[in-house]
């Protein structure tokens, strides 16, 4: 892992820097990656993406919660998001983090909160994706995902991170559920005991995981901006006769927008992950760590004003 990536991911935990960046944030250019600070800001962005032929998901940004009452406020906010998507007839689903629903307070609490939201989404014909966070949360996250699927909830999906050594095994365990899985490289600072430190190894692991998931019978979201991997997914699905309904590409709002539209023109489903909310600092830092050149983009905006 590059030293700069390490520094930026460590800075993601700094409260001093957070205060500074939140203050100047949208001016610095966070708006490139975040659809706004409120749901009202996000709706026209989601609509414009839909009008361009892109599917979308949205996330109310935020990760830590202190007590059960705070998690109830998050659940209420997501219920509102799902209702608004329905009322506005957007082609948008929801992706959320279990820590935002209370995972670090109590696993049962997070599971109850998630179950309520998945049931609400089902009533509206919608879908909820559980993002994957730091490696210490993987066991509990997959336990909760499995519990929901085994209790009859179909409209819920999970994420596997290619950088973790364990992910091949996790995929094999999940395949009997015909899961909806998003495959990502992985965005957090992880120790070498649990994750490949080198990018080349992560890329190889990604392709292995993606192909096993595509062949496994569920639904695969190929979530990457890596063009070589995207082309590999296209040729693999063609060779194996895997229909387009069984997979989609996913990218982040603000990253490779032309590639997103090119894939739509080629007949593939592309979903753009389009988060919003006032609590966008750590999300932004992860986007900077993925491509430190983005730091220059932010600094240029600072100088321009």
Ligand X SMILES: Cc1cc2nc3c(=O)[nH]c(=O)nc-3n(C[C@H](O)[C@H](O)[C@H](O)COP(=O)(O)OP(=O)(O)OC[C@H]3O[C@@H](n4cnc5c(N)ncnc54)[C@H](O)[C@@H]3O)c2cc1C
Q: What is the DSSP letter of 268?
A: -
Whether 182 is catalytic is yes
Report if residue 196 touches ligand X, rule: CB under 6 A. no
Report if residue 32 touches ligand X, rule: CB under 6 A. no
Segment interacting with ligand X (CB under 6 A) among 4-12, 60-68, 75-83, 182-190: 182-190
Tell me how far, at minimum, the Cβ of 105 lies from ligand X, in Å: 20
Binding-site member from 9, 43, 96, 132 for ligand X (CB under 6 A): 132
∠ CA 287-290-292, rounded to 5°: 90
The SS3 call for residue 184 is strand
Which tokens hold the place of 138? 């993987």
The SS3 call for residue 120 is helix
Report if residue 21 touches ligand X, rule: CB under 6 A. no
Candidates 129, 149, 170, 182; catalytic one: 182
Segment interacting with ligand X (CB under 6 A) among 62-70, 74-82, 173-181, 183-191: 183-191
In angstroms, the CA 260 to CA 169 distance is 31
Please identify, using beta-carbon distances, which residue of 72 and 269 lies nearer to ligand X: 269
3-state helix, strand, coil in the chain (%, to 5): 55, 15, 30
Report if residue 63 touches ligand X, rule: CB under 6 A. no
Contacts of 257 (CB under 8 A, 6+ apart): none
Report if residue 224 touches ligand X, rule: CB under 6 A. yes
Please identify, using beta-carbon distances, which residue of 81 and 233 lies nearer to ligand X: 233
Q: Look at the chain and count its residues.
A: 305
Whether 131 is catalytic is yes
In the block, which residue shows the tokens 């096993």? 212
In angstroms, the CA 48 to CA 261 distance is 13
Segment interacting with ligand X (CB under 6 A) among 106-114, 178-186, 190-198, 237-245: 178-186
Report if residue 290 touches ligand X, rule: CB under 6 A. yes
Burial 159-191 (b: 16+ CB within 10 A, else e): bbbbbbebbeebbeebbebebbbbbbbbbbbbe
The 268-287 contact track toward ligand X, x by CB under 6 A, reads -----x-------------x
Catalytic residue numbers, as ranges? 131, 182
Residues at the site binding ligand X, with contacts judged by CB under 6 A: 131-132, 159, 161, 182, 184-188, 223-226, 250-252, 255-256, 273, 287, 290-291, 294
């Amino acid at each position: 892992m590059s030293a700069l990536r390490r520094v930026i991911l460590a800075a993601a935990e700094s409260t001093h820097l957070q205060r500074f960046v939140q203050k100047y944030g949208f001016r610095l250019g966070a708006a490139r990656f975040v659809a706004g600070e409120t749901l009202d800001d996000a709706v026209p962005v989601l609509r414009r993406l839909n009008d361009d032929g892109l599917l979308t998901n949205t996330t109310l940004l935020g990760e830590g919660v202190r007590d059960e009452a705070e998690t109830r406020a998050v659940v209420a906010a997501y219920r509102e998001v799902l209702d608004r998507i329905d009322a506005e007839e957007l082609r948008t689903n929801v992706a959320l983090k279990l820590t935002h629903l209370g995972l670090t307070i109590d696993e049962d609490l997070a599971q109850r909160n998630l179950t309520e939201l998945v049931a609400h989404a089902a009533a509206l014909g919608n879908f909820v994706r559980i993002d994957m966070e730091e490696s210490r949360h993987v066991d509990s996250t997959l336990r909760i995902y499995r519990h929901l699927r085994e209790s009859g909830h179909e409209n819920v999906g999970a994420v596997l991170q290619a950088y973790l050594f364990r992910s091949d095994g996790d995929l094999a365990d999940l395949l009997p559920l015909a899961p909806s899985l998003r495959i990502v490289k992985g965005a957090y600072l992880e120790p070498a005991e649990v994750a490949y430190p080198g990018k080349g190894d992560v890329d190889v692991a990604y392709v292995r995981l993606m192909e096993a998931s595509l062949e496994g019978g569920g639904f695969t979201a190929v979530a990457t901006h890596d063009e070589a991997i995207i082309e590999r997914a296209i040729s693999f699905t063609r060779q194996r006769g895997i229909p387009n309904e069984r997979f989609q590409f996913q990218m982040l709002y603000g990253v490779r927008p032309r590639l997103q539209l090119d894939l739509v023109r080629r007949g593939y489903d592309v979903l753009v992950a389009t988060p919003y909310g006032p609590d966008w600092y750590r999300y932004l830092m992860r986007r900077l760590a993925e491509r430190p050149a983005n730091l220059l983009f932010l600094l240029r905006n600072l100088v321009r004003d």
